[in-house]
Amino acid sequence: MDGNIIEHEEIITRIAVDYIEMPDLKLTARQARRLWNVPAEACDRALAALVERGFLVQTRAGAFLRRTSGLAVPLTQAS
């Protein structure tokens, strides 16, 4: 695997784990970048990937929070 792909998946996993450990976590993209100390582009891509995978939802105000539908959503993409 390409190093950038691995790094991207590591960022996604780090973000997802914190959302699992803190179910009420609600952050804007700016807050997320600061919390995880991740460059803006990498953080935005990771958040977008988690929204696309159905793990996170983005509010109209732009905050990201964990989807609470009760469905088990895999963190990794299907091969």
Q: Is residue 36 part of a domain?
A: yes
Residue range 19-66, pLDDT digits in tens: 999 989 999 999 999 999 999 999 999 999 999 999 999 999 999 999
Q: Is residue 45 part of a domain?
A: yes
Residue range 2-32, pLDDT digits in tens: 556 668 899 999 999 999 999 899 999 999 9
pTM of the entire predicted model? 0.80
Q: Is residue 61 part of a domain?
A: no
- For the sheet with 64-66, list strands across it: 26-27, 64-66, 56-58
Q: Is residue 29 part of a domain?
A: yes
Q: Is residue 19 part of a domain?
A: yes
Q: Which domain holds residue 20?
A: 3-55
Q: Is residue 72 part of a domain?
A: no
Half-sphere exposure of 61 (CA within 13 A, CB side): 6
Number of domains making up the chain? 1
Q: Is residue 74 part of a domain?
A: no
